[in-house]
Amino acid sequence: MTNIAIFASGRGSNAKKIIEYFKGHQHIQVKLIVSNKANAPVLEIAQANGLEKLVLNRPSFYQTQDLLTTLNNFKIDFIILAGFLWLIPPYLVQAFRKKMVNIHPALLPKFGGKGMYGMHVHEAVKLAGETETGITIHLVNEQYDEGAVLFQARCAVNEQDSPLDIAKKVQRLEHLHFAPVIEKLVTQLEASSTDSF
């Protein structure tokens, strides 16, 4: 069984989709929801689904490695960032190298980096006059939105689309693709770790 932790700062619509997708899955389970905000709606989703929750404290997250002990206690093998706004510290990147993915609501390397989240991204896409946008699922490294790209899906941006219209199209792609892409990645990882024995 591969145990997943989802890190999210806000609404958690992607987290919800992922939780639902893996319910009753044969070899992948969502075990823990981690947030940096005690009042994040994603924690209610965790509660409603009977999942373990953890609220991070900034000094402890950046100045200690206590989180690794907690993740270890929950036997977490894989981390999903689904709208998690804090930069991942090096100790966590190293501990989960190739085992931590993020979803970004644009076609990286365009419209990524610090401050590029939520509606800021879609407003920038609109302002730049892009004719397409989409989603990027990528490995996490020490910089915002710079790890290796694993998957992208695209949608058209029409002249009359508002940033909100763009956001809706992108969210549709996220909800459609994120969980199946994770399933594929985790399954590949499981296969490669069996190979090495």
Neighbours of 141 (CB within 10 A): 17
Of 126, 134, 125, 146, give the one whose Cα is nearest residue 107.
134
* Residue in 14, 19, 45, 133 binding ligand GRF, rule: CB under 6 A: 14
DSSP conformation letters of 144-170: TT-SPEEEEEEEE--TT--HHHHHHHH
Among 10, 112, 134, 147, binds ligand GRF (CB under 6 A): 10
36 is a contact residue toward ligand GRF (CB under 6 A)? no
Asked if residue 11 binds ligand GRF (CB under 6 A), the reply is: yes
What are the tokens at 113?
Answer: 């980096």
Chain positions 103 to 132 lying near ligand GRF, rule: CB under 6 A, are 103-105
Binding segment (CB under 6 A) for ligand GRF, from list 30-38, 56-64, 100-108, 188-196? 100-108
**Helix, strand, coil share of the chain (percent; to 5):** 40, 20, 40
**174 lines the binding site for ligand GRF (CB under 6 A):** yes
- The H or E element spanning position 1 is none
105 or 147: CB nearest ligand GRF: 105
* Opening angle at CA 175, ends 172 and 181, nearest 5: 125
**Can 104 be counted among the known catalytic residues?**
yes
Of 31, 56, 79, 83, the one binding ligand GRF (CB under 6 A) is 83
Question: 122-132 burial, b for 16+ CB within 10 Å, e for fewer?
Answer: bbbbbeeebee
Q: Does 2 bind ligand GRF (CB under 6 A)?
A: no
Closest to ligand GRF by CB, 71 or 105 = 105
Cβ neighbours, 10 Å, residue 72: 10
CB of 42 vs ligand GRF, minimal distance in Å: 7
Determine if 12 is a binding residue for ligand GRF (CB under 6 A): yes
The catalytically annotated residue of 104, 122, 138, 177 is: 104
Hey, is 114 helix, strand or coil? Answer: coil
Q: Verify binding: residue 145, ligand GRF, rule CB under 6 A.
A: no
Does residue 133 touch ligand GRF according to CB under 6 A? no
Residues forming the site for ligand GRF (CB under 6 A): 8, 10-15, 82-83, 103-105, 174
Residues annotated as part of the active site: 104
